[in-house]
Chain A
């Protein structure tokens, strides 16, 4: 159990002297609080697995320090860090039974047999593995194997944090949510710090209370799922989270007005001091743009297609060169191709060089 602090942590696979732009993980400083459920979310190659491996000690950082409860553990080996890690593919020891698999980490640490048996029984019970204890682990299904991998981490009473590296990749869809809710339940019972790496936003948003979004080796935003949805700090977060992603279009913004394709939208806040050289864009989630009959005063758009998601329909439209996704209100009969767009001003954000700009009231 521990609070984890990252201090100016950075890593390059190309050696310490490589230019910082090529770093797999650009310098970050952040704190993971004890008992938190975190998700590291980002596309492939964004550095999330690197960050995880740095914390577990599989990879040694090029720069910076990692502190567990204030103690610098950067030079420590994986063993001494008391970290549990669950990998993408289940790792089980083929020749052993489920029980022996679970006992393995304790046996390696030379614990007395009685203590091992008690601990294994407890964890097996927690993971619903008790009926399978005496079976050969190779003969179980992927989800059971993944639970064994997790169990091997949990049997150690001193474990500081549990790291998950896309653990549900090989699990059948219908078992995925079962296993995920199991993880949530475990998190509540055991009060462990859990860090969960994934590129699947549903997994991240349902598992974690804090989602850390990474992009190109940097942490671009960390916050609750609601924060990421309502107020993306970076255009990347806007279109990576949400389905469909946020609409991001170039615009000219001055004061409370944003001009897109010759049309002016009134904003809720005033943006007076925007950097003049920056690329200015506005971002609005499709959920806050409604499609309407063409009318004067509405931004006019051409409908390209309608995506029917069952509960909700989204229209894919084109405004000048920009593409938009907009909500189709229930019961609305869709015009042939021309339509107007109605914006909810409270949810229109302004971005300068991809970063969110806070307006003044």
Chain B
């Protein structure tokens, strides 16, 4: 078959090329360019090679120390919220009604926190937790718990984690609910006939059937929590001290606070690289989990 050759199609994709180039590729290349240089203002730049990257990975330097500390905090934060939100989301999804008008009501209520803009979530919790005018802070202090997220590291962490759980557990729950809804009734009936206990139904049917959506939920929540900026910035501003300063907050401090473009560029590239690697790992795991095709025909 002869193929018609028509180079005009290139003109049709050209606009997209330009948009992507100016919105993504060129800014990224600028960052790569900055990461190799140092500036002392006045738009004067000096070549620094891989110096910033060496510093970043060396905890004895100021830059490396700050980066690795904030990275550690960030990983701990992600681990904490995953450890809470995933089991909690599953429990919520399991206890949601399966039919009737209450399904719609539940879904709407569950979706509400997801619709609130990040900085509003931060503001809500910032006020909610204040010991003088916030309901949470006032009540906690009045029942004898010395709670102050501005001065106490533990309280600041607790506030940020509870806030994230409040904001995002419903996403995990909704995903799990969708996974649960897709299980045909026959599975439950068969389990009943097989005499399975409630726990056996969960481990043998519900959990395996939810594993895809759970992987997606874990991926989404990891990415989001690893890039978190707005909410902790609004609530704690990274404090007290540096105790809730996550990588993104540290990055903004370096880039816009100190105007160290070279250091900030190097940090953001490494940050970006970590995210890409994690995505790739998740993608590989997910596609392998989906590769359960029959491999032996004709077993009859």
Residues on the B chain within 8 Å of A179, using CB: 300
17 A-B pairs (CB sep. < 8 Å): A77-B192, A78-B193, A79-B193, A91-B187, A96-B204, A105-B193, A105-B195, A108-B197, A132-B299, A141-B294, A141-B298, A144-B300, A147-B299, A147-B300, A153-B193, A175-B300, A178-B300
The answer to whether B195 and A109 touch across the interface, beta carbons within 8 angstroms, is yes
Q: With A141-B299, A175-B300, A178-B300 in contact, is A108–B190 under 8 Å at CB?
A: no
Residues on the A chain within 8 Å of B204, using CB: 93, 95-96, 104
Please measure, in the bound complex, the distance between the C-alpha atom of A33 and the C-alpha atom of B298, giving whole angstroms: 35
Q: Is B184 an interface residue (CB 8 A)?
A: yes
By beta carbon, the residue of chain A nearest B291 is: A139
Q: How many residues of A contact B (CB 8 A)?
A: 39
Q: Is B293 an interface residue (CB 8 A)?
A: yes
Q: Using a CB-CB cutoff of 8 Å, which residues 142-189 of chain A contact chain B?
A: 143-144, 147, 149, 152-153, 175, 178-179, 182
Please measure, in the bound complex, the distance between the C-alpha atom of A58 and the C-alpha atom of B192, giving whole angstroms: 9
Measured CB to CB, the closest approach of chain B to A177, in angstroms, equals: 10
The answer to whether B186 and A91 touch across the interface, beta carbons within 8 angstroms, is yes
Q: Is B209 an interface residue (CB 8 A)?
A: yes
Q: How many residues of B contact A (CB 8 A)?
A: 25
The answer to whether A85 and B190 touch across the interface, beta carbons within 8 angstroms, is yes
Please give the residue numbers on chain B whose beta carbons come within 8 Å of chain A beta carbons, in ascending order. 184, 186-187, 189-190, 192-197, 200, 204-205, 208-209, 292-300
Q: Using a CB-CB cutoff of 8 Å, which residues 17-35 of chain A contact chain B?
A: none
The answer to whether B190 and A91 touch across the interface, beta carbons within 8 angstroms, is yes
The answer to whether B190 and A143 touch across the interface, beta carbons within 8 angstroms, is no
Residues on the A chain within 8 Å of B296, using CB: 132, 135, 139-141
Measured CB to CB, the closest approach of chain A to B5, in angstroms, equals: 44
Please measure, in the bound complex, the distance between the C-alpha atom of A143 and the C-alpha atom of B297, giving whole angstroms: 10
Residues on the A chain within 8 Å of B197, using CB: 108
A246-268: CB near B (< 8 Å → 1, else 0) gives 00000000000000000000000
Residues on the B chain within 8 Å of A108, using CB: 194-197, 200
Residues on the B chain within 8 Å of A77, using CB: 192
The answer to whether B208 and A94 touch across the interface, beta carbons within 8 angstroms, is yes
The answer to whether B189 and A93 touch across the interface, beta carbons within 8 angstroms, is no
A93-B205, A175-B298 provided; 20 other pairs, C-beta below 8 A?
Answer: A58-B192, A78-B189, A78-B192, A84-B193, A85-B193, A89-B186, A91-B186, A95-B204, A95-B208, A104-B194, A104-B196, A104-B200, A105-B195, A109-B195, A128-B299, A132-B299, A136-B292, A143-B299, A149-B190, A152-B194
